[in-house]
């Protein structure tokens, strides 16, 4: 039997949406107020969904202690209270929440082997959330 587990985490980070290869006018028309030179911040709600067979002994998809420990060490400590533009992950790409979702997915995909990673969902505001479930090539 396959089951899914979704765990929610919170962190805060700031960013400026700006692409150096675009003109100031293009950046402004593309990113609007999110192109503010001083940046802006969000209180992100991160959901990580994993799946797998239920362990006969524990009845769980995975141990929450393992998942929480991994997310704290690899995600929260990396991104919480940070300016995303200053991090190595975003030196060559705009730190949109879409790109942040994909980045978090890749970190979990590479490092958490206690269950199958289904998707990452990142809520940026009450009105905006983004999901990433890997690239098409990975899922085939």
- Domains: count for the chain: 1
Q: What is the pLDDT along the chain (140 residues), one digit of tens a residue?
A: 899 999 999 999 999 999 999 999 999 999 999 999 999 999 999 999 999 999 999 999 999 999 999 999 999 999 999 999 999 999 999 999 999 999 999 999 999 999 999 999 999 999 999 999 998 654 44
Q: What is the largest CA-CA distance in the chain?
A: 60
How is residue 22 annotated by DSSP? S
3-state helix, strand, coil in the chain (%, to 5): 40, 30, 30
Residue 111's domain comprises 2-139
State how far the Cα of 15 lies from the Cα of 83, in Å rounded to an integer.
Answer: 5
- As beta bridge partners, residue 49 has 6, 119
pLDDT for 1 equals 80
pLDDT value at position 137?
56
Quote the CA–CA distance of 57 and 139 in Å, as a whole number: 29
Query: Residue 44 sits in a domain of what CATH number?
Result: 3.30.479.10
Separation between Cα atoms, residue 27 and residue 23, nearest integer Å: 6
What's the confidence (pLDDT) of residue 96?
A: 97
């Amino acid at each position: 039997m396959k089951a899914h587990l979704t765990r929610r985490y919170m962190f805060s980070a700031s960013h400026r949406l700006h692409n150096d290869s675009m003109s100031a006018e293009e950046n402004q028309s593309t990113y609007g107020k999110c192109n503010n030179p001083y940046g802006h911040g969000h209180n992100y709600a991160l959901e990580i969904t994993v799946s797998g067979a239920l362990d006969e002994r524990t009845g769980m998809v995975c141990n929450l202690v393992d998942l929480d420990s991994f997310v704290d060490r690899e995600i929260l400590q990396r991104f919480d209270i940070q300016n995303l533009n200053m991090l190595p992950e975003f030196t060559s790409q705009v730190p949109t929440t879409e790109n942040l979702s994909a980045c978090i997915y890749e970190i979990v995909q590479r490092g958490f082997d206690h269950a199958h990673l289904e998707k990452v969902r990142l809520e940026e505001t009450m009105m905006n959330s983004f999901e990433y479930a890997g690239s098409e090539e990975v899922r085939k």
